[in-house]
Structure 1
Amino acid sequence: MSISSGTVDPLAGAYRGSYWHDLHRVGATTDPLSTSATADLVVVGAGFTGLWTAIEAKRRDPSRDVVLLDSEFVGYGATGRNGGFISDSVTHGLSHGLALWPEEIDSLLALGRENLAALAADVRQEGIEADLRLIGKTIVATSDAQAATFAPLAESLVEHGESATLLDAAQVRADVDSPTYLAGIRVRSGGGLLDPIALALGLRDWALRLGVRLHEQTPVQAIEQGAVVTPGGPLRTRQVVLATNAFRNPVRRLRKYVVPVYDHVLVTEPLDAEQWASIGWDERQGLTDAGNQFHYYRPLPDGRILWGGYDAIYYYGSRTDAALEQRDASHRLLAAQFKETFPQLGDIAFTHRWAGLIDTTSRFTPFVGTDRSGDVAHALGFTGLGVAFSRLAAAAALDALEGERVPEFLSERPVPFPPEPIRYLGVQMTRGALAREDRTGKRGALLRTLDRFGVGFNS
């Protein structure tokens, strides 16, 4: 049974850091760049986007001298701080894709499915043990307004080639039992779960086998013509790909297109057999609820539950700082919501608490392009769905450097965010409007206006 009691703070013993980082004991394994050097291509950022870029560059041209830099270590940022979900979507979900690209939706769905299948094939071929399980997910309704949308949503999913089954309250609770569930959609296609750090470390090792030169703990201070400036000296290069995502971009003009948002996560202590029996969850799939401020949650291989989402926080001035990863109010709100969702687990304790950065664009999807010279490319703004999409965007960034055509849905820049203080006020107003819609089921004037312009804000 649970090791905690009603008198014990459920967060008292929680490790203040990512479960994935703790599990794998991650850290730098390569030396910082300590002297001036040269390269054909420099990739800035060793998360999923940077790793895939380096790998794809070497696959296209094994003789290309590729250097991969990170200010911390492989998987330090969003790559190692997410929930371990993977999706084939390149449109931030079907409904969002239908709203923004109705004429292209079938080709975009096919593109995302092909990319995820190719990623899975890469993982198998390279022997990467990432616990990749393409078992889909269950979407649950926790309000009458959400439940009312589920029949047309399930119909739309099936119409567009997904394996989706509409569940009433009894059916969804027979699968995963929570008194908060009013309806569900079991989607067996489109993605699943994995260990994100295991994938990142596998990609790192693959990149090194291909001859990529990796330098961790090497921050980039500036991008100059023909060089990347680091504390160890200039790294002269013909081409650069920026894969910094939510972190401060070294190219100032790109900063207006991405805002960093902190998404909070908890992990429980391991459940015993009796506790698991009280929930069910035999397929061990991931779940999300259907609110604007939504939760995502999943079982972990060691018997814990990862529980995250809901309270996405933007800090004035687009601040990103390690101290911001611990927000007591957000973590305590998550703990209370977990207890409401699974009251049968009693006063379960949490062993890990952290926040991960989401690189949000105004349209919820990334954009790829180059600077005026054509020598510095970027792939930024995955808005929480970058685990698989980063592979596709990395290839598009290399295409852009090579003068090849980039799909319009990626090459078109999103609407930029306004400067402060308008940016901060706009984000807060939009978050408030989304929360009101969750409470009332009605989409207010602000959200309808944003919809017309193809912009918004969401966790």
Structure 2
Amino acid sequence: MATLDPRSLSLWHDTLDETVVPRPALLGDVEADVAVVGAGYTGLWTALHLVRTDPSLRVVVLEKEFAGFGASGRNGGWCSALFPTSLRRLAREGGREGGREGGREGAVRLQRMLHRTVPDVGRIAAEEGIDCHFDQGGYLSVARNAAQLQREHADVEEYRSWGFGDSDHRLLDPGEVAETTGIAGALGGVYTPHCAAIHPARLVRGLARAVERRGVVVHEGTRATQVASGRVVTPHGTVRAEHVVLATEGYTPTVPGRRRAVAPVYSLMVATEPLADDVLEQVGLRDRTTFSDKRHLTIYGQRTRDGRLAFGGRGAPYHFGSRVQPAFDRDDRVHEHLRGILRELFPVLRDTRFTHAWGGNLGVPRDWFPSVRHDRRTGLGFAGGYVGDGVATAALAGRTLAAMITGEDPDDLASLPWANRSSRSWEPEPLRWLGVNAVTALMTAADRQEQRTGRPSRLASTFWSAVGQ
């Protein structure tokens, strides 16, 4: 288990209303019905839905560090219906091959299910007594140059072609953007109500307590050295179970035999001090609407319950060999760049003090396509590869895994287009290192070109076409 102070991991860990006390490690061999590896959102939502469906199930969760140590406790706090794979790509999964619902119907049903999942997270959190600061103020994507505005219009037209209307995605003019936020230089934007701002560490820590109240056993400080059909082996003992779920997301490459399953890509964040009332008035976001602009290299932000801005983005390097280390959670160059972007978006922050800087890794599959699967023959299950859109998606994945394992599936979740599919492995090194970092460089260059010229980047368009989006 990591020896660092849990409060140093992120703003979210530092503002928990509890002291993180490690749960006991596994001691000896154990029999269970389901063994879950990973006490983040995916693993804990799976455990919760399993025991809500069948309270008699013996479920054991194994965690190398502590519940919420990884991305589930460090993310941007967007519980959104965003999915990294396009509706066109989802529809191309085709037919009902492998039991999956393909075509237009399957793609739309998955998107509608994600729309439902956002308020479901808030509802279940309330039922379980989890105060995760859930506020569904929606998400605003702002266009700050002509190329970004063109993409905003294209996105809304694309959603309309799939049957989604203004109640799902609505174009805003500059005046309407200004009614929500004081982001500088806005030419327009798109608003969707299908997003809530949350305190991510409060949610994941609350989920851990919720599953324990229902009889799930959570062992922390317990590293899985072998994950196989019917068993999880650790240095402290073996858990034998009919079903084994791997829920390790960006840490999956650290599991033996899974080095190339996903690429652990780092996303970093900064947070301001609590802002004065006059500054907050100019920032806006009174309903805690989450925000970004339409650049290619992702940025994301929210206004916290205690009046800060928490803001993050990509741009940190991928590390050779899919290495995951605490030292990679901080990068002075990237953190300073993020502070600069936030001040550019909100000039009123020019004299504001920043109090926190942190980061963590997220899981990127080779085809940018998240998946959830369970093999009834071997009992092995997996969910992940969320490409940073994992808060609500992990909740739906956990519900789906529980349905697959118990056979109780009234919403036919097991036939959704992302179910029971696999992404091919990433290339071996050095090709993986070259490829992932080249994408970051390409998107950075594309954003600079678009800011300078106002014209859409052909390089970025070519890339997204090449990966099938």
Q: Is the TM value for this pair above 0.5? A: yes
Task: Structure 1 unaligned segments of length 5 or more: list them.
Answer: 1-14
Amino acid corresponding to residue 137 of structure 1 in structure 2: Y
CA deviation after TM superposition for structure 1 residue 401, in Å:
4.3
Corresponding residue of 2:265: 261
Check whether the contact 2:252–2:258 (CA below 8 A) recurs between aligned residues: no
Corresponding residue of 2:40: 47
Check whether the contact 2:40–2:68 (CA below 8 A) recurs between aligned residues: yes
CA deviation after TM superposition for structure 1 residue 106, in Å:
2.0
CA gap of 1:185–1:224, structure 2 versus 1, over 3 A, is closer
CA deviation after TM superposition for structure 1 residue 202, in Å:
2.0
Aligned mates of 2:88, 2:200 — CA distance in 1: 29
Corresponding residue of 1:86: 79
Aligned mates of 2:153, 2:299 — CA distance in 1: 21
Aligned mates of 2:270, 2:213 — CA distance in 1: 35
CA deviation after TM superposition for structure 1 residue 414, in Å:
2.1
Q: How does 1:114-129 map to 2 (within 5 A)?
A: 114-129=116-131
Q: How does 1:254-403 map to 2 (within 5 A)?
A: 254-370=258-374, 373-401=377-405
Alignment partner for residue 202 of structure 1, among 206, 216, 236? 206
Aligned mates of 2:325, 2:367 — CA distance in 1: 25
Corresponding residue of 1:4: none
Aligned mates of 1:399, 1:308 — CA distance in 2: 34
Aligned mates of 1:60, 1:174 — CA distance in 2: 44
Corresponding residue of 1:3: none
The 3-state SS of whatever aligns with 1:149 is helix
1:421 aligns with 2:430: yes
Task: Structure 2 unaligned segments of length 5 or more: list them.
Answer: 1-6, 92-102
The 3-state SS of whatever aligns with 2:196 is strand
Corresponding residue of 1:105: 107
After TM superposition, the score normalised by the length of structure 1 is 0.88
Corresponding residue of 1:10: none
Check whether the contact 1:81–1:355 (CA below 8 A) recurs between aligned residues: yes
Q: How does 1:66-81 map to 2 (within 5 A)?
A: 66-81=59-74
Corresponding residue of 2:132: 130
Q: How far does the alpha carbon of each residue in 1:11-33 deviate from its partner, in whole angstroms, 9 at most, with x for none?
A: xxxx9530111111552442111
Q: How far does the alpha carbon of each residue in 1:145-183 deviate from its partner, in whole angstroms, 9 at most, with x for none?
A: 101233343344455144443222343234312323222
The 3-state SS of whatever aligns with 1:257 is coil
Q: How far does the alpha carbon of each residue in 1:229-251 deviate from its partner, in whole angstroms, 9 at most, with x for none?
A: 11212222222111011103576
Corresponding residue of 2:143: 141
CA deviation after TM superposition for structure 1 residue 280, in Å:
3.2
CA gap of 1:76–1:449, structure 2 versus 1, over 3 A, is closer
The 3-state SS of whatever aligns with 1:397 is helix
Tell which deviates more after alignment, 61-70 or 335-344: 335-344
Q: How far does the alpha carbon of each residue in 1:197-221 deviate from its partner, in whole angstroms, 9 at most, with x for none?
A: 2211221121011100111111111
The 3-state SS of whatever aligns with 2:267 is strand
Corresponding residue of 2:468: 454
CA deviation after TM superposition for structure 1 residue 100, in Å:
4.0
Check whether the contact 1:286–1:298 (CA below 8 A) recurs between aligned residues: yes
Aligned mates of 1:450, 1:181 — CA distance in 2: 25
The 3-state SS of whatever aligns with 2:211 is helix
Q: How does 1:212-251 map to 2 (within 5 A)?
A: 212-249=216-253
Aligned mates of 2:222, 2:461 — CA distance in 1: 41
CA deviation after TM superposition for structure 1 residue 447, in Å:
5.2
After TM superposition, the score normalised by the length of structure 2 is 0.86
Aligned mates of 1:343, 1:445 — CA distance in 2: 31
CA gap of 1:238–1:411, structure 2 versus 1, over 3 A, is closer
Aligned mates of 1:387, 1:393 — CA distance in 2: 10
Corresponding residue of 2:188: 183
Amino acid corresponding to residue 273 of structure 1 in structure 2: D
